[in-house]
Amino acid sequence: MDLGAITTFMYGFRDREMIIDIFEEMCGARLTMNYNIPGGLMFDIPANFQKKVKEYIVHFRKKLPEYDRLLSGNKIFLNRTKGVGYLSKEDAISYGVTGPTARASGFACDIRKIKPYGAYDKVTFNEALGDAGDCLTRYELRIQEMWESMSIIEQLIDNIPEGDIQVPTRAVIKLPPGEYYESVETARGELGVYCVSDNKKNPYRFKFRSPGFSNLSALDHMSKDVKIADLVASMSSVDLVVPDIDR
């Protein structure tokens, strides 16, 4: 949308609404979902959850190639993104960049592959990688990741186990003394949680590692001696979320 591709953006919004409808039925919220909680989930999944997810994947498998025809081969779009916002593999590592922005520069950093969590050790998927390090490659990787995401869902959707949706947890959770770090792979990269505990009610130190903050740090380096329009393209390809960065 930032480059003027309004048609593709609106088509994407149509498909996004279908996903949000499923979210709303699960937890009552369309955008700010409060579904995962300590001990499990806020609510059990609806009876028709699996059916709706499968129907959506059938729908989206037909629509994703349509977006490719509309945008990926568009000459104006290619001129605005190919070779623009270059970030080398060495610079991506140096700036702490993760997610599709780093993988577009050839840096394999998917936490789901490096340190599988949840059900990721039970599924087969490819880590989307590129080597051109430009806006176009960062865009192409996200298209690849949509295909991989659908494949992951298809492998798991019929294998949701029966059982409790929550397990009892203490009202106050205290970690033993020490330093702890855990991370997950989000759509924009590594989201980490760092905690220093002295065995008291409140942690001695607690910090979130936002992928957006680290990715933003490389934007100035990517945008030297370029036009404002190229800066817009680079910023969009990094996929910044300002409230996440502010945190």
For residue range 166-194, what is the model confidence (pLDDT) as tens digits? 998 888 888 899 999 999 999 999 999 99
CA distances from 68 to 12, 65, 201 (A): 12, 5, 52
Within a domain: 171: no
Alpha carbons 114 and 124: distance in angstroms, whole number? 14
Assign 193 to helix, strand or coil: strand
- H/E stretch holding 186 reads strand 178-186
What's the predicted TM-score (pTM) here? Answer: 0.90
- Specify the pLDDT at position 97: 97
Report the domain count for the chain.
1
- Specify the pLDDT at position 172: 83
- Specify the pLDDT at position 237: 94
- Specify the pLDDT at position 68: 84
- Specify the pLDDT at position 31: 86
- Specify the pLDDT at position 145: 96
Q: Which domain holds residue 70?
A: 6-166+217-246
CATH number at residue 70: 1.10.645.10
Within a domain: 80: yes
- Specify the pLDDT at position 64: 93
Assess contact for 102 and 190: CB atoms under 8 A: no
Q: Which of 160, 164, 194 is nearest to 179 (CA)?
A: 194
- Specify the pLDDT at position 188: 95
Within a domain: 38: yes
- Specify the pLDDT at position 175: 86
Neighbours of 218 (CB within 10 A): 22
Question: What residues in the chain have per-residue pLDDT under 50?
Answer: none
Within a domain: 199: no
Within a domain: 201: no
Within a domain: 17: yes
